[in-house]
Structure 1
């Protein structure tokens, strides 16, 4: 019985010491372990969730809005073009990867985008009719603006023999993925390599590699998700100097441990690396994140002088980005919807523009620790520059205006399942600290109990020994029937 009590006392004391040591050790090494857990779950390798979602992304909501040109029959310098917004025409896009090739630190791939129309959110359908500028005729006129007199006359005759005015009226489906028969393209396709149909997205649905080949760094460190090369090159040749830089993320992965600074996104559709600056801390579904905005993403040097190298030829006022150099000479101009955050000159030259920051801001919300993108609103408006071209009959008397055609908004939101995981991830350090300190305190309490028990036992054992040495020895009892001659009986 005595040895069992001693064993319990020693075990109690030892358990308390072990709890204290384990708690102190975990507190010291918690951060490396925490980083290891995050890196393990975000590991980019076949069979891992991060890789599988990259190989075939979840559907992304994509809304198209067209600007219907309501006074297209009256185009001259004294009449402003008037537009009415029509939409949304909702699609869901699934991005896939093709021709994936692994290297030591990066992976090369081509992308494919498959779009599915969803007519449920509104009463809009792809048979809606839209009037807009003729992009084929306008592009041909723009490309010949510096040609000699006879070359322009030849082009003018060719255009006038095929079309009668500079606008077209087509269905939304034709203007997007279905395509439409164009007499000019029909003629050009017979004498050169040209598409037989017009359409802003014609031939792109499900076709791999149309936006080039990417090389992405996949090691999970401060460069994770960075685009190293596009089409085998680390720089473009569309602009001047640093504006040809290819870098930043493709918008799918971001490095861990984000800071309140900026994010770089490279897009071949934008023909540039887009800069998103930190705006504020926000909370999405209980998850804390950083919001980044591309407020001046289409600045040409007015707001940020370093962007002046984006000017190709004529430098336009801020807010409209000239991508003609990477669009085969087509006078395509990009902006935010309704010329949001652009110079007022663009809105003042047309009617019907109503910019709205809530609807038209390009922003991204990121969970800073894991670098996971929680929410995205990525709007982009496609415009075309209409300007007079001498000796081209259809265009020689038109005003110089940036004509809005349509805009597209890609949106993605945090799912409840991922939000739950991110909330746990963000709260894990707090949970860990509470647990570990509780463990240390519990270890101290248990150790204290063990020590007190041993001390009390020691003291109790000492008193027993003292009493044993001073105890009174009772005389031996002798049975009455036995006589003892040494004792007198009375």
Structure 2
């Protein structure tokens, strides 16, 4: 019996020491253990949970498209009369983005992939129908005139004759479906299709021929190492820099756009965008709370600056610098007169909105931002909005563009809002509160450890049971009070 009690006492000491050591370890090494757990959870490998989520978005993303209807195209050459624009939309689409041709390189800790994007018109939830008739700039002759803007006068006169003989106009009127995905036939494209020219399609549409294709936005190589390079774009189309701009503006760095390293700070985030054909930098704006989860919001207010506000952005001008607010992407759009901005030229120089009528820049409706949970680097909230504009400019050598004003003409913009699901919010809330839970656990472990050691000390030194004398004749124990009285009587006698 005594041996069993002794082992129990020793076990109390061991348990107490283990509790205290465990609590001490958690106190000093919790951050390391915390990051280790998160890195493991966010690992991108063929069998990981994160890979399944990353490979294909489910449910589909919602994308709303707004077209600008030009209501007075016949007045384009009337002095003092501005183009009147009417925003039509939204046309709602469901977007499924899937990674294809995925290849892991375990030695380099990278993964390469392409995108396949599928768009389905959501007629049930769309405000407008694709049968709407829209008048907009005639993009095909505009692109030809822009491509040959520096050609000699003989080439331009030949182009002018060809366009005039086909009855080409500055504007075109088509359905919304034709302008977006279905495409429409064009006499110029039909004529060019007979020539040995690459990338000439029989129809024109902003997204014509892109729905369901693989690799339309290039091939990506991304780092999957669980370190500061996690999610970093290493190359795009087998290049580490572009040739669309000049100098540092050609650099490709930052994230591939979906994953970021742990422990974000209140400074900035960077990712490469194939739509922008450039590195995008979003700057910290403020702390926000979404569904109980604390997060950082980063905004892209200066993403379309060309050096007016920040000198380092001057290399995005690509020749002729324009007032701040539009980005020249013509070099990565087959040399078409394409310029990107925020919807309604939000946060741009008034020069652009003053050239037309019908625009109303509005914050936050037209703002671009990303909200991120700082510990995990997971995107919780995304509001991506971008507008495509074509440059209309006068050209005295091409008759249909004689006497037209110079205008950055809005064609359409898309609005894609991604909101965090409740399931993800619950997981992030648990991750956010884990340090607080660990503090409670540390206190409990330390308390139990001290309690067990105190019990051990008491058992060994202070809490031994008193051995009571026994009646030697009967073998029965003599009550303590009775024994004391008897001893007192003996002393008196």
Q: Under a length normalisation based on structure 2, what TM-score does the superposition of the two structures give?
A: 0.91
**Matched-pair contact (CA < 8 Å) for 1:261–1:277:** yes
Is 2:156 the counterpart of 1:152?
yes
**Matched-pair contact (CA < 8 Å) for 1:71–1:82:** yes
2:170 is matched with which residue?
166
1:27-426 matched pairs, under 5 angstroms? 27-58=27-58, 59-76=60-77, 77-103=79-105, 104-191=108-195, 192-193=197-198, 194-426=200-432
**Matched-pair contact (CA < 8 Å) for 1:44–1:220:** no
**Matched-pair contact (CA < 8 Å) for 2:232–2:254:** yes
Deviation at 1:259, TM superposition (A): 1.2
Deviation at 1:75, TM superposition (A): 0.7
Q: What CA distance in whole angstroms lies between the structure 2 residues aligned with 1:18 and 1:105? A: 38
Task: Choose 1 or 2 for highest CA Rg.
Answer: 1
Residues 463 and 323 (structure 1), Cα distance of their counterparts in 2 relative to 1, 3 Å cut:
farther
The CA deviation string for residues 362-401 of structure 1, in whole angstroms up to 9 with x for no partner, is 1001111111111111111000010101121110110011
Secondary structure of the residue that 1:96 maps to in structure 2?
A: strand
Deviates more, 1:141-150 or 1:307-316: 141-150
Residues 13 and 231 (structure 1), Cα distance of their counterparts in 2 relative to 1, 3 Å cut:
closer
Q: What CA distance in whole angstroms lies between the structure 2 residues aligned with 1:457 and 1:207? A: 81
Deviation at 1:164, TM superposition (A): 4.0
**Matched-pair contact (CA < 8 Å) for 1:145–1:390:** no
Residues 367 and 446 (structure 1), Cα distance of their counterparts in 2 relative to 1, 3 Å cut:
same
Between the two proteins, the alignment pairs up a number of residues equal to 473
Deviation at 1:45, TM superposition (A): 0.1
Deviation at 1:149, TM superposition (A): 2.0
**Matched-pair contact (CA < 8 Å) for 2:67–2:88:** yes
Residues 442 and 160 (structure 1), Cα distance of their counterparts in 2 relative to 1, 3 Å cut:
same
Deviation at 1:359, TM superposition (A): 1.1
Secondary structure of the residue that 1:357 maps to in structure 2?
A: coil
**Matched-pair contact (CA < 8 Å) for 1:142–1:389:** no
The CA deviation string for residues 120-145 of structure 1, in whole angstroms up to 9 with x for no partner, is 33431111111100011111112222
2:474 is matched with which residue?
none
Residues 80 and 439 (structure 1), Cα distance of their counterparts in 2 relative to 1, 3 Å cut:
same
**Matched-pair contact (CA < 8 Å) for 2:284–2:296:** yes
Q: What CA distance in whole angstroms lies between the structure 1 residues aligned with 2:143 and 2:5? A: 96
Secondary structure of the residue that 2:44 maps to in structure 1?
A: coil
Deviation at 1:112, TM superposition (A): 1.2
Secondary structure of the residue that 1:345 maps to in structure 2?
A: helix
Q: What CA distance in whole angstroms lies between the structure 2 residues aligned with 1:297 and 1:370? A: 25
Structure 2 unaligned runs (5+)?
471-479
The CA deviation string for residues 288-310 of structure 1, in whole angstroms up to 9 with x for no partner, is 11111111100000011000011
Residues 309 and 451 (structure 1), Cα distance of their counterparts in 2 relative to 1, 3 Å cut:
same
Deviation at 1:250, TM superposition (A): 2.3
Secondary structure of the residue that 2:466 maps to in structure 1?
A: helix
Deviates more, 1:191-200 or 1:450-459: 450-459
Residues 156 and 287 (structure 1), Cα distance of their counterparts in 2 relative to 1, 3 Å cut:
same
**Matched-pair contact (CA < 8 Å) for 2:383–2:416:** yes
Deviates more, 1:68-77 or 1:371-380: 68-77
Deviation at 1:462, TM superposition (A): 11
Deviation at 1:339, TM superposition (A): 0.1
Secondary structure of the residue that 2:400 maps to in structure 1?
A: coil
Q: Under a length normalisation based on structure 1, what TM-score does the superposition of the two structures give?
A: 0.91
**Matched-pair contact (CA < 8 Å) for 2:90–2:127:** no
Q: What CA distance in whole angstroms lies between the structure 1 residues aligned with 2:395 and 2:260? A: 46
Deviates more, 1:187-196 or 1:314-323: 187-196
